[in-house]
Structure 1
Amino acid sequence: MRTLPGLASLLCLLSACGNDAAEADKSAASATPRQVTYAECMAAADRQPSRAETVARAAECMRLPDAPPPGSTLPPGTPPPPVGAFADADTGAISSVYTSLSEEDCRMTSMDEESGSSSSRCPGTAGYALNAHDGDARISIDVVAPDGKVHELNYWGVITHNFSSPGPRAEWRMRGGRPIALIVRVNASEDPVDSSRLTSYLAVAKITPRQACVTDRIAPSPTANEQARAAADRSAGRPCLTEVPQG
């Protein structure tokens, strides 16, 4: 049986229009920008050339849909642990808890008006806190244990001798409910020609019942975060750095 010419043309036209519509929908979908995640936004904030720009960018990240609620120290998307989950603090998987190092969230404890040096107490986790020091435009951090003992990490002696500033947050590596290591980004001004050009290191410090000290200085690379976490998770058996590594 022959198909009427008019009907065949109509069917062909409808088929073509359907394909065009599908292609148009596909193009529209591909043109829609992907939503940046909180983790991606914070990583970009860490790479800003100045502390002020880093803090401003981090504040924008807090408005993203997957950002942690205000005051939370849990990574985005992580539900609070159930009661009794940390009964055995020395077993279980290692995870991360984040706390702020921004000026807005830290309380100044001392200030030298003549030199401009200052110290601040910043929040921690599991009974720990951090002392952030800024002296001669160089930063360092102390880990304050729950018993009040202060462990100096000496960033200006083992990470960089140059002008430096911290990233917007600290990452605590946790086994159960106990911190086993601390990771902090240290932005160093090491270019003698352009002081605004920063080199971003990750300072890895072990935390044991007896001491806390820097064990690794992770240089910038696309996998620096992964390297820092791997170093942090095995840091308990590593020696403390005593000087800025060469090379």
Structure 2
Amino acid sequence: MAHIHLGEGAFPLWALALWTLLAVGLIGSVVYRVRKGGIRTQQIALAGIAAAASFAIFQLNIPVWGGIHMNLTGLVGILAGPLLGALIALVVNIFSAALGHGAVGLLGANTLVNASEAIVAYYAFKTLMGMDWDVFPASASAATLGLSAGAVLMGVIIVISGVNGSALPRGDLAIAVAGLVGLNLGVAVIEGILTGFIVQFLASVRPDLVGLADRDTRDETTGVTA
């Protein structure tokens, strides 16, 4: 959902280096954990479908205030998990940059933004489900929280980096970016609700896809009968 729609050279070199190094560190730790813990075939197939869906909807750009759109990263995190979710964020950004949707130099920054959305959404969903929330409010709230975290991180990255060639003082830039973040927060609510409906449907037909099979089995096992 959140994405830095700036051209090549918009960020100073030190900022590009900083965000790229942080993204490399994040992806490196993710790859290490995936290699160490292994991955199931079902997860690979699910990750491929999630990446394709995210990439497809990501290309539908609404030309408002530099461009807003949905990318289903909250849904990706809930379905694929935090590790594969971060890798999917990287892949989607690479292919999008190749099509001119986002600068190549901002791959690191945008990967951090979108990976954070998937990671926060996953852990928020698991936490809320652990508190016995119903599937729809848990997934909708988790996706909204994840997307909101990404929007705020996007704004922080832009304000910290500054924009080359911009005549706005840092304070005025922060105000302008705050407006953009606010717009993205509104879209986060809409995408969160959409994610809630999708996860609720999947839970009704394939609870194992959203990690609810064990919960259903536990509820049946511990149920009290007269």
Q: Normalized against structure 1, the TM-score is what?
A: 0.25
If the length of structure 2 is used for normalisation, what is the TM-score?
Answer: 0.27
Bigger fraction of residues in helix? 2
**Larger strand fraction of residues:** 1
